[in-house]
Each structure stands twice: as structure tokens, then as C-alpha cells.
Chains A and B, each alone.
Chain A
């Protein structure tokens, strides 16, 4: 394969992985925009859904569509549980969105629930990995000398579909307007009659669905499910959101894809150990840069690529 072909192929593989990261980051950022805090239990609530789904699949041999439905339903329920317990919408809280200690506390609480959900998921399933229904077999599509696995293609298509659906919802519907208004200025949202508690719940539901889509496709591609999924998902989501700018959906998508591409190239040339290191290095560099450049922004300010609010 030519040098260019090699680069192109690696990039395509990277984009496929990055599309997943983008989805995770979208869900995580959706929640972050509304609650202004990191929901550490995000990955594990999605993971719980997948575990229940695969258990059902192994026990009852149900269709893959039903699997997905079960996974989403459980993830939504788990997400709402996290929201009610750790991030309730209280008028008093809305008056101090930047209180560092409240941040610590709800992050700690969501960590506790992360542990809860993870244990719940693996309760009667202690194995290191479980089979997961396959998505599209091993068919490979060849195009201009480059190959892409059909399930990687499905990943890309689903990611694009999710982004489009999310964009349309947020910018063309009343439902989305309510969410964007709440993210922008929660106090004003109450003033115009938006049910802020309802918006909190909606954000968690959307995040659960988006995360499940990504994780489901990831597991179906690998045809396996491991208990490391929860932590992996949350970490990738947080990293992408950090690089792309806290609260910026656009930034989350771009950063997710960029991280995927970076990882693919690093792994290709330096191996898997350094692949993980490269992501952290990039994050560290980005954060150090933002700390030291003049006019450093506030806690919920501008990221590398994105900006305030849901944009």
C-alpha cells in the first residue's frame, strides 16, 4: 500500500473510532450543558443497559432491534435515577452554578452511583467478557483501494444520523429551544415558563439514548461486552469534551473525531501503549495551554474549539 494510502486507511479507521467518541462526548456534554457538572455515572448507566440487553439476548435469543430497545430503556431508567439522586434541579442550586464545592459533591455522588451501577450490571455476570449480538458480519467494503468494514460504516452513518437529529431537535423544535434556553440561563428559563426540572430529565434521556447508540454499535462491532466499558466510555467522553470546550456540542463532536484519528495514527506507528498516552498528552497540553495563555477563561468558558452554551 502506498504511503498516502496507508495514511488514508489509518485515518478512516480513526474516524470510525472517533465517531464513537463523538457520540459519547455528545451525550456527556448534553448533560453537562444543563447541570454544569460532570456526570461520572454516565458510562456505567449505559453499560447497565447493554448488560441487561445481552443477558436477555443470551437467555431468550431475541432480535438485535429488541436488544437495542432494551438497552436504551434500561439506560434511560438508570440515567433518570442518577439525575434524581445526584443532580436534582433545585431553585437554590440555580443561584450558584459556580460553587466549586457543590461541584465536588455532586461529582462524588455520581461516582458513588457509578460504582453502584457497575456492580449492578456485573452482579450475576462476573466473567471478563460476554458475547454480544453482531451487527453486520465481517463484510468489508472496498473503495478506491481503501477498505472499510461494514460495521465501521454503520458506526459512521449512525453517528452522522445522531448529529443531524440532535441538531434538528435543538434548533428547529420548541423542545430544543427549551433545552438551549435552560443551558444558556436557567433563571431566565424559569421566568419564561420553561419547566427546568423537565429539561434536566430530557437532557439525561437524550444522553442515555445517544450513549446507548454509540456503545451498542461499539459492542456489536467487537461482538463482545466487557465490564471496562463504563469507565472507557466516561473517560473518552470527558476527554473529548474537555478538548472541545466545556458545554460545546460542536466542539465535542470535532474533538471526538480528532482524538480517534490521533489514536489511530499513534497506534499505527508506536503501538497501543503509547496510543493511550497520546490522548492524555494532548489533553494535558490543551489544558496547560489554556491555563497559561493571557486572558484565561473562567471555569465554564471557552474551550479550544467551541464556546459557551449549546452550540
Chain B
């Protein structure tokens, strides 16, 4: 496998975590323009854990997930009661505040004779755990995909569970859901926490893959991109956001002929696609039809 291909595949999976984070919130009926901030929190906390405190990657990822979940819940305390556009803008504002926070974050230590740690706008260099542990890029790729597969598996289990149905009901009609006896606020907070954790895990892996992160990495653009992957790929299953990520990042690498016009072509396709299929490519009707056909095939055999 060529280095370039490994890099592309890794990028797709890293951004998929962020897309899944946005997707989970979309299921609950909320548009968030701010998941990139939790991606950043995961990146910074995992980086600090390994580069400055010598922890291993697994622990760092766990810490990142916890940090992401906590931050998300904290933000949600203020925003949970907001609807639609208001919620979206509040998440954007919170995310930008966090990004500005990253730019002010300067904690440096001397390790192995050089300065490591976040250095404000200059960013955070030296997140070298992967190389120090002797992991080759293809091995890291496998680890990332294993983690992604676990996450997707868990999400699919979640969707089949009563909780998953409740989440979708909240997404359809919140008032109706609460009248049915669903604890809307509690469930939404759980979704928010899980989304924050998801994004943070992606961020932790991202930081270690790149070895260098800076505040401008976690801009609104990143967040809105991830959101659109979920919307394009389809909201029926957790595979939708992955498809969206694959389409965009894959197209970037795959269509060298479009190099300069990538966004013009892709953007136009996205707009047309959403007009035609408002719930994405893998939308509910399509997935249900496939499942029915699968079931019938199984029964027929």
C-alpha cells in the first residue's frame, strides 16, 4: 500500500469521527456548527497527556473522550433549550470561543532538551508518541480503523435499541416525544456527551497522526464540512457519515483532473444531491428497502 493511499485512508477515518459526532446530534434533531471544538479539545488533551506527561496513547484517547464529553455537556448547559438556528449559532459561538482559547493556551515544559507543549497561536509541536512507540503508518491506520469500526458497531447497536428509537423520535418531533414520556433533556444531554466524546477521540488520533496541531486547524470550516458529510452520506445509519467523508476526501485525491475545481464540482453536486435526496444518499427509505430485501432473501433461502 502506497504511503499516499495510507495517508488518504487515515484522513478519511479521522474526519469520520467528527462526521459521526455531527451525525449523532442530527439524529436528535440538532444542527451543530461547533463539533470541531471538541475535536480540538481531544487533540490538545491527548497531546498534553502523551507529550508532556508520558502517558500511552490508549489512556490519552480515553482522557480525550472524557474531556470532550465534559466540555460538550458544559456548553450544552447553556444551549440545550435553544432550537434550530439559535442552537446552531450558539454552538458556533462556543466553538470559536474555544478556538480563541486554544490560541491563548501556552503551557510549555522542557522534555528531552526541548520545549514541548501548546504555544498559543504557534501551535503544539512534538506529539510524537506514535514514532516513539515504533508504529508504522499502516499499523496506525489499522488501529484507527479498528477504533472506527468499534464506534460504528456501537452506534448501530444503539440505533436498534430503545434508546436509539427515542433519540430519533426526539429528532422528529420534540414536543411529541416529551408527551410520549421521553425524558427529552436528559436524552439530549447524553447525546451531546457522546458526540463530544466521539469528536474528541477523532481529535486525539488526529493530533498523533500529524504530530503538530494549531488552533486554526479547528475552524468553523472543519465543523461545517463534517456536518455536510453526515447530511450527504445519509442519516439512516452510521455508515452515512463515512460515505460522505469518503466522497469528499476521496474525490480530492481521486480526481486530480479536477484539482483546481474540486469544490466547484463537489459543491454543485452536493447542492443538487440534497435537493433530490434531502436525507442524504443512504436515507431511511433506501436502507429500509435494502433491509427488507435482505430479510426476504434470507427467508427465501
Chain A positions within 8 Å of B, measured between CB atoms, are 37-38, 40, 85-86, 100-116, 118-120, 123, 231, 235, 238-239, 242, 246, 273, 276-277, 280-281, 283-284, 287-288, 290-292, 296, 298-299
- Closest chain B residue to A124 by CB distance? B260
Closest 6 CB pairs of A and B: A116-B267, A112-B270, A119-B263, A291-B81, A288-B78, A112-B267
Q: Is B163 located at the chain interface by the 8 A CB criterion?
A: no
B146 partner residues in chain A, CB cutoff 8 A = none
CA distance A287 to B78 in the complex (A): 8
What residue in chain A is nearest B269 (Cβ atoms)?
A112
Assess the B85–A38 pair: CB atoms within 8 A. yes
**What's the Cα separation between A225 and B79 when bound, in Å?**
36
Contact of B79 with A291 in the complex, beta carbons under 8 Å: yes
Chain A residues whose CB sits within 8 angstroms of the CB of B291 once the complex forms: none
Docked CA distance A120–B82 (Å): 35
Binding stretch for chain A, among B97-105, B205-213, B249-257: B97-105
Given A119-B261, A246-B85, A287-B93, residue A105 in contact with residue B220 (CB < 8 A): no
A113 touches B103 (CB 8 A): no
> Which B residues fall within an 8 A CB radius of A?
26, 29, 31, 78-86, 88-90, 93-94, 96-97, 100, 103-104, 220-221, 224, 227-228, 231-232, 260-264, 266-272, 274-275, 278-279
Point out the residues of chain B lying under 8 angstroms from A103, CB to CB.
31, 84-85
Q: Give Cα A238–Cα B96 distance, bound, in whole angstroms.
A: 14
Decide: A112 and B271 in contact? CB cutoff 8 A: yes
Task: Tell me which residues across on chain B come within 8 A of A109, comparing CB atoms.
Answer: 270-271, 274-275
Residue contact B268 to A100, C-beta cutoff 8 Å? no
Distance A120 CA – B260 CA, assembled complex (angstroms): 9
Q: In the complex, A295→B104 CA distance in Å?
A: 38
Contacts of A114 in B (CB 8 A): 267
A105 touches B267 (CB 8 A): no
Contact, CB under 8 Å: A287 / B82: yes
